[in-house]
Structure formats: C-alpha cells, structure tokens
Amino acid sequence: MSRKISIALVVAVLAAFLGYTLWKTLLAPSGLPPDGFARGNGRIEADLIDVSTRLSGRVAKITVQEGDLVAAGDVLAVMDTAELEAQKARAQAAVDSAEAAVAVARAGVTRAGANLALANSELARAETLSRRDVISQANFDIRRTEAQVAEAGLAAARAEARAKERAVDADLAVLHEIEARIADSTLHAPEAGRILYRLAQPGEVLGGGGKVLTLVSLGNVYMEFFLPATAAPRVRLGDEARIVADVMPGAAIPATVSFVAPQAQFTPKQVETIEERESLMFRIRVRIPPDLVKARLAQVKTGVRGVAWVRLVGPDGNLPGWPEGLTPPLAVSLPAPMGAEAGSDAETGQ
C-alpha cells in the first residue's frame, strides 16, 4: 500500500513539474519586466535647431558639411556683407562729421562764455562809473543789455552743443545697428551638435529667416517612450533610469527621468471598463547626462532604437534596487563604439 502511495507521489510530482515546465514554455508571459520595474521602446533623440539668417542676403560661404561635428561658437556659414560694409562706412563718416560739429559747438560755448565774462566786466565797470556820474544812465543800460545778451548767447551755445552731442549718439546708434547686422551675417553654432542638413548653397539669395543648416543639438540627448496608466504615476522625476541600445544589448547607459506627461497622450473615446482604462498611455522622457554625452560627442548618434528601463515607486515609497541579471544589470559609462554603427546620417533625427 505504501509502495502505491510512493509511486503516486512520484507521479504527482513529475506531473506537476512537467505541467509547470509546459506552462513556462507555452503559456507563461515572457520578457516581462520584474515587479517594481517598467520599460518601453523608443529611440535616442535630440533637439533639432534650424540655423537661419536674420536678414535677407546672399550666402557667401558655408564652412561645414552634413555629418560634421561642431562645437558651440563654431562658424557655420557667412552671408555676403558688401552692401552692409558700404553702409557702415557711410555711417562712420556721419559719426565723424557729427563729432566735428560737436567740437565746433563746444568752441562756440567757450567763445560765448568769454563774451559773457567780458560783458559782465564791462557792466561792473559801468556800474561803478554810473555811481560817480562819470557815464550816463543810457550807457549803463547799454552795458547791462550787452551782458544779458552775452548770457543768452552762452545758453544758446550750450543748447546747440547738447543737440550736436545727441546727433552723435543717433549716428552712433545707426553705426552700431549696421555692425550688429554684419555680426549677424556670420552664423555660429548655438551649441555642440552634428550637422544634419545643408539647406542652402553658396551663392543662393535667402530671405530674412531663410534656413541654411539644420543642426542636431547634442546638449539634450534623450529617449521617449510610453507607459500605461498603471505604471506612469509610479515614475518620479529625477529618478535613475537605464537605456539599452539595440546595437549594444550588453551595455546600459545611465539616464535620468526628466519628464512625465501630466495627462494621457491618447485616450479611448469612452472609458468604461478596466481594460479600456489600462489603454491610457503616458509619455515618459529619460535624459542622458550632458557630461556623459559631452565626453563622447564623436560617438553619439540619434535615431538609434532601444529600450528604456525605469523603477516604479513601491507602496512604501521606496524604489527597488537594480537586481543582478536584469537587463540592464548595471549602468556603465558610455562605451567608445556607441553609435559607430548605429545608422546612416539619413536616419539621424528621424
């Protein structure tokens, strides 16, 4: 009897083991993240910057080609400034002329001041002589009037000098405006990045705001993906994240959660059932640290697809640790081959 029970137990254990194996192989969901983690598919992206002209003009020179890596402040293109240089020369001549007029006006102030001093001296002498009855009252009145006229002449000379000085300021403002236009005719890289498109060629005439180049900015490299409503509220801004690029499945790129959408990106027309509520999706963005990107600018390329991993806040308010064996198991520094074979330039930024 005991032998039959033993055989039955062995058969039961084998059946349970085979059933569990069959369930794991055929029925159990595979590839799901462990509890406390979420992941989403996305691609490494960066902001696109259109380098445009502020003024209309002819493109004189473009110093970069598509795919070139540029640093902040590098000269990308130069517009023709022959007309602006002529305007600058004319404005400089106007400034010089106005400054000469100011010098003349200030000499007039000095002359008017001297005339006033002389008139006041003559008035004082006439007043003394008038008290002694040496000169008539009429002569004294003449001297007094001459002093008043000299004083008015000094005030007029000073006003004219101020007007000439303001004219210099106006001409200088015109000169500075033209110099600013000339400076704007040299297009610089606003930040480090890679040239994606050349949209114009030397010799072309562009209107104000005409696009010359499109730059992929590497100052803000990130990946966007979507999480369901059951997971998105448990993702916190500033938490650590991981990015695993398809071209390097064995390495993880450290990142930080920089954005969690405050509302669902797409919603069913009518949310009534649990299944429909679970279809609400929220956009999440994780950003690669700028210092890490800066250290590997030559290797970083956008458009590379991969998976972003984030940790979910538990009921106790804590985050789970990154366990061994989880892909990615550990964040590592961005390896040198990053993006080396990530795709063609046509894929960049798409």
> With pLDDT > 90 as the criterion, what percentage of the chain qualifies?
32
pLDDT band per the 50, 70, 90 thresholds, residue 243: confident
**Rounded CA separation 124/321 (Å):** 99
The stretch 245-259 carries a mean pLDDT of: 83
Question: Does the pLDDT at position 25 exceed 60?
Answer: no
pLDDT value at 296 more than 50: yes
pLDDT digits (tens, 9 = 90+) for 134-147: 778 888 788 888 88
DSSP state of 266: B
Q: What local confidence, expressed as pLDDT, does residue 323 receive? A: 62
Hey, what amino acid is at 44?
A: I
Is the confidence at residue 202, as pLDDT, over 60? yes
Residue 211 pairs in a beta bridge with 52
User: What is the rounded CA–CA span in Å between residue 268 and residue 307?
Assistant: 26
For 50-107, what is each residue's pLDDT tens digit? 999 999 999 999 999 998 989 889 999 999 999 999 999 999 999 999 999 999 999 9
Long-range contacts of 342-348 (CB under 8 A, 24+ apart): 342/245, 342/247, 342/301, 342/303, 342/304, 343/301, 343/303, 343/304, 345/66, 345/67, 345/196, 347/303, 348/194, 348/196, 348/216, 348/301, 348/302, 348/303
pLDDT: which is higher, 121 or 335:
121
Domain range summary for the chain, segments of one domain joined by +: 32-69+199-342, 82-183
Determine which helix (DSSP H) or strand (DSSP E) holds 322, and give its type and residue range: none
At 171, the pLDDT band (50, 70, 90 cuts) reads very high
Beta bridge pairs of residue 266? 281
* Distance separating alpha carbons of residues 350 and 197, to the nearest angstrom: 12
Q: Which CATH class is domain 32-69+199-342?
A: mainly beta
pLDDT at 350 over 60: no
Span 210-232, pLDDT tens digits: 999 999 888 889 999 988 888 88
Backbone angles phi, psi at 136, to 5 degrees: -80, 165
User: Are the CB atoms for 302 and 46 separated by under 8 Å?
Assistant: yes
Q: At what angle do helices 137-184 and 82-131 cross, to 10 degrees?
A: 170
Residues 6+ apart with CB under 8 A from 104: 164
Q: Which two three-digit tokens encode residue 164? A: 């000439």
Give residue for tokens 């303001």.
166
Bridge partner list, 37: 311
Average the pLDDT over 146-165 and give the result.
Answer: 89
In terms of Cβ atoms closer than 10 Å to its own Cβ (0-12, 13-18, 19+), residue 151 is middle
| Residue (of 281, 265, 285) closest to 230 by Cα position | 281
Q: What count of other Cβ atoms lies within 10 Å of the Cβ of residue 90? A: 13
Residue 232 burial (CB count, 10 A): 20
CA 168 centroid distance within chain: 36
Q: What does the alpha-carbon distance between residue 65 and residue 197 come to, in Å, rounded to a whole number?
A: 8
Kindly give, in sequence order, each residue whose CB lies less than 8 Å from that of residue 88, ignoring residues fewer than 6 positions away.
175, 178, 179, 182
